[in-house]
Structure 1
């Protein structure tokens, strides 16, 4: 039972979105239809039963009224009890029984119907004769039978406290009424089911333009902002207005995005040239000036360091702008992946002077046969240098580099033993200017663009870059590149 419930829950969760507008509208229509159907069926049942009871009330009233007249007529010719019996026999039918009782419960006269086998065998006659009936007319079920019963006092000479009882069998009519109500319910449920199906199809069709907008919006990227607009030839007025507003928003976003990229490209290009001249002047002054005091030399060294850092930032910004604007296509050629990794390690060790006592802080694990990949050798080497510098910046332990091969991919993994990156920050580390720790990154010399360039370079070579990390357990950066035919 639990398995069936779990499967049903899985089916509903997979195929029925309970929070969707379509489900909510359909549910509202179905519930409104059910309420209307229940109200109509209930009212019809109550009204039909009232009409049935009213007809029998009228019939019983006529019988009671004429009973006295007939008894008075026959009482002049025979004893009162015989007159009452004669009238009862005259008024009795197969479904109608009459009897007269005194105040002590003695039956003075009764219909032959009460002695019939069906009435006697089922015990209905005995139940009718012994049950206490209140004055007036009511519907009384007895076993599987349904009767309209009536008790009316008779004020007649000789029987001042007599009571006329009437029982009319309406079982067939009552069952017919119940059958009619069941048919009404069944027909109503079928109509509601058909209405729900029609409403589902209609609402689904009415919401199709919204789904088209959602599909088109999912295809919009930063590169296609200025070249993509929504067009829905047949759409409701509200949806058409939404499309118009959305297209206007895309136009504004495209303009703002183009201005931002142009600004970054221009400012990076315009500032890099004068800063390069400043750096050259500072470096030349530091090399040739022997009369500088220690504070002067320290100030010039700080200025030269910050100038180099600013030039590096501007260079990366310019590279980022050109890659985003598709102004640069990387020249790809088959290359030995292990050789590129070795060259990147050598560059990092030379730049950071990581060799101490002949020991390297970077170890390499590579297969005997190096995989061949279709890459831009210089950019892949720069990407690996960025990952290695990043690992050395935040880890005092040795860095491990692995080259792995798969049937269609070649992998380069950089393992460090640093503090790791929290899970909530891992998805954003490749975004421009994103820093897990703002102060630490700035003190370490990071610009916040290195990992972004790594991602853009690798993706331009049809590869992928990913991160796996846990706090206090270091990071593993993986570059995956498609293998070339060797």
Structure 2
């Protein structure tokens, strides 16, 4: 298992999946503000409408009381001047005599209101004013009996047009709604800015942690003051980092020491076995076969331990590389001869022009051999392997294409980890222990290059290695 230095997950992915903490806080606080301001605005509009209705009802009740009292003191034939005295541009009055139901007087400039009087639900109107909608207008209706010494003389009808006040109130409410929405937009912007500023230490720690992956420095606090919660989190992460770093270092030391000791012992065993095979003329066929198997397995274990030691040196930066301009065309030919000396596999090479890279010849040959062996291992013997060599403006590019079982997209980033292998049921059941591609990545990145893979299950894989071009190749021609 490889211990990664630093903290690799992004802080913005801690919490809900793929949800920005800044967005969540902004939406949450804005929603609370919307509910609060919306509730206050709704309550205010309701109170204003209620106050308007109550005020008009009280005014109508007062007018009805005073007019009825004046009519009670006046002879019915003289009611018209009384009504004219109280009439106003938005107030209509009428008086009906009780004995014959004749309208003795009416007053008020409400257009066509007198003609609609029979259609108005006066029977549902009492001395308590009510607001009703008539012909698209808001009308306050009131009916008041006119009595004198307990005797009913007639009835007083009042209608007050309050449509203008309702329209003004509606305009005011709409203005209030627009102002509320505008205020919410401003508040949301300010909240987003404040939250972004508050989360700046976390973003800086995220960047620092990403930059420190693979480096031996622990996570530190940003320069400016940070919240107490962030400081405690950083201290906890630093403590965890130190423990992981110490564990990883002890693991590497143990692996290197054990690999070195085992390699020495196995080299001695291999030497004795090979010596016995050369001198053992009296060995039976069964004994010779057993010794050959032991020699083969010992040789395989020695190479495995060598890979472990080299991988440990690469990860610790102790592997020395001899970088110089080399011709990748010749390296490709040599690697193919070493991997397939008997030419049992069809390897198609496409190299239209010489490509000179700035790399270590021995290590790039090793990279090629690992990738070619990997292509042979995970594809059928009758399937060809394609090797393409070309260059771009800054890179020397090697591509190795096989038509084997392929690799699922979810495992593309994991196949370069040590000891990782794609599930055996999807491919072949034989193979190594998963060090080849890890060594390839370490070597290529050690030479300032890049390695990647494109693969589709059932359609094969394409491994791409990019190496820097030699300096003289990069220089523009004069």
Structure-1-length-normalised TM-score: 0.82
CA deviation after TM superposition for structure 1 residue 273, in Å: 0.7
Distance 1:265 1:365 in 2: 38
**Is residue 93–residue 158 contact of structure 2 (8 Å, CA) maintained in 1?**
yes
**Cα distance change, pair 260–52 in 1 and its aligned pair in 2 (3 A):** same
Distance 1:52 1:473 in 2: 78
For structure 1, which segment, 151-160 or 239-248, has the greater mean C-alpha deviation from structure 2 after superposition? 151-160
CA deviation after TM superposition for structure 1 residue 368, in Å: 6.2
**Is residue 309–residue 445 contact of structure 1 (8 Å, CA) maintained in 2?**
no
> 2:104 — aligned with what?
109
Distance 1:51 1:389 in 2: 89
**Is residue 81–residue 108 contact of structure 1 (8 Å, CA) maintained in 2?**
no
1:348 maps onto 2:332 in alignment: no
For structure 1, which segment, 142-151 or 340-349, has the greater mean C-alpha deviation from structure 2 after superposition? 142-151
1:124 maps onto 2:113 in alignment: yes
Distance 1:375 1:424 in 2: 31
Which of structures 1 and 2 has the larger relative contact order (alpha carbons within 8 angstroms, sep 6+)? 2
CA-to-aligned-CA distance 1:124-156 (integer Å, 9 cap, x gap)? 332245412221311234346433210123455
**Is residue 435–residue 441 contact of structure 1 (8 Å, CA) maintained in 2?**
no
**Cα distance change, pair 270–231 in 1 and its aligned pair in 2 (3 A):** farther
Distance 1:126 1:259 in 2: 104
**Is residue 397–residue 467 contact of structure 2 (8 Å, CA) maintained in 1?**
yes
- Indicate the SS of the match to 2:114: helix
1:480 maps onto 2:466 in alignment: yes
For structure 1, which segment, 258-267 or 314-323, has the greater mean C-alpha deviation from structure 2 after superposition? 258-267
> 2:10 — aligned with what?
none
CA deviation after TM superposition for structure 1 residue 312, in Å: 0.9
- Indicate the SS of the match to 1:448: coil
**Cα distance change, pair 93–238 in 1 and its aligned pair in 2 (3 A):** same
> 1:12 — aligned with what?
none
- Indicate the SS of the match to 1:139: strand
> 2:83 — aligned with what?
88
- Indicate the SS of the match to 2:281: coil
1:396 maps onto 2:385 in alignment: no
1:185 maps onto 2:170 in alignment: no
**Cα distance change, pair 291–265 in 1 and its aligned pair in 2 (3 A):** same
Distance 1:210 1:100 in 2: 80
Aligned counterpart for 1:206 among listed residues 186, 191, 198: 198
> 2:243 — aligned with what?
252
> 2:271 — aligned with what?
280
**Is residue 102–residue 159 contact of structure 1 (8 Å, CA) maintained in 2?**
no
- Indicate the SS of the match to 2:418: coil
> 1:65 — aligned with what?
65
CA deviation after TM superposition for structure 1 residue 324, in Å: 0.5
Q: How does 1:105-254 map to 2 (within 5 A)?
A: 106-113=101-108, 116=109, 119-120=110-111, 123-128=112-117, 130-133=119-122, 134-135=125-126, 136-143=128-135, 145-155=137-147, 160=152, 162-221=154-213, 223-231=214-222, 233-254=224-245
Distance 2:428 2:306 in 1: 17
CA deviation after TM superposition for structure 1 residue 185, in Å: 2.7
> 1:373 — aligned with what?
357
**Is residue 71–residue 146 contact of structure 2 (8 Å, CA) maintained in 1?**
no
Distance 2:427 2:120 in 1: 98
**Is residue 99–residue 107 contact of structure 1 (8 Å, CA) maintained in 2?**
no
Aligned counterpart for 2:93 among listed residues 82, 87, 98: 98
> 2:345 — aligned with what?
361
**Cα distance change, pair 383–62 in 1 and its aligned pair in 2 (3 A):** closer
CA deviation after TM superposition for structure 1 residue 347, in Å: 2.0
Distance 2:301 2:48 in 1: 92
CA-to-aligned-CA distance 1:63-117 (integer Å, 9 cap, x gap)? 443445433433xxxxx4214334323433343322123579944223332xx4x
Structure-2-length-normalised TM-score: 0.83
- Indicate the SS of the match to 1:125: coil
**Is residue 61–residue 142 contact of structure 2 (8 Å, CA) maintained in 1?**
no
**Number of aligned residue pairs:** 451
Aligned counterpart for 1:420 among listed residues 390, 406, 419: 406
CA-to-aligned-CA distance 1:40-66 (integer Å, 9 cap, x gap)? 333333333333333443333334434
CA-to-aligned-CA distance 1:242-269 (integer Å, 9 cap, x gap)? 1211221221221122122222211111
> 2:35 — aligned with what?
35
Q: CA RMSD in A?
A: 3.1
> 1:9 — aligned with what?
none
Distance 2:449 2:361 in 1: 13
- Indicate the SS of the match to 2:129: strand
> 2:12 — aligned with what?
none
**Is residue 410–residue 480 contact of structure 1 (8 Å, CA) maintained in 2?**
yes
CA deviation after TM superposition for structure 1 residue 293, in Å: 2.8
